[in-house]
Amino acid sequence: MEQVAAHLANEARVRHLAGDKSSGDDDLFGRSAFNRYYYATFLIIREGLRSLHGTWAGLAHKDIPPLLKGEIKKTLKRGLQDAKRLSDGDVVKQCSKAIEAADELAELTTRAYGVRVTADYNPEIRVSFNERGTFSLNAIAVDEAKKWPYKARALVPAIISAWSQI
């Protein structure tokens, strides 16, 4: 999915720099790149949630941030308190790291989902290009979107690791 996103982003740049902005193809390829970066990220998160609780794999996209900030974080905090009570320093560190990861992942998912919704449902909000051909949507640069899957790959395992300990 990330390769497709990178290809779409490059195609958007090429078409924009070629100067034919009247066709709107640069905008279409640009918004499709954001969409694919979002879905690459979503699939990573969904797989992680599935490993925590099988029913979480079927959550609606918009329900993931509240789950991360709600039930998942609550369970991790309970595990943190238990680990402190038992003086288990390793689990305390894992839970602390996982709580931060849940917050970061919820924030990332919220931001990414917002851009994906704009890309899919609001064609009147155009992709904004600069003179070098880099672009953004909802003030999110495509280079930031490119990092979403990498961030998810770094954050999800921290949650899974602590979850398995508690």
Residue 121 in this model has a pLDDT that exceeds 80: yes
The whole-model pTM stands at 0.92
pLDDT of residue 24: 85
- State the pLDDT confidence band at 124, using cuts at 50, 70 and 90: very high
Domain that holds residue 31: 2-165
pLDDT of residue 23: 75
Task: Give the DSSP H or E segment for 107.
Answer: helix 89-121
What's the pLDDT tens digit per position in 33-64? 999 999 999 999 999 999 999 999 999 999 99
What's the pLDDT tens digit per position in 69-101? 999 999 999 999 999 999 999 999 999 999 999
CB 101 within 8 A of CB 52: no
Q: Where are the alpha helices (DSSP H) in 53-88?
A: 64-67, 73-85
What domain count does the chain have?
A: 1
Q: Is 130 exposed, middle or buried (0-12, 13-18, 19+ CB in 10 A)?
A: exposed
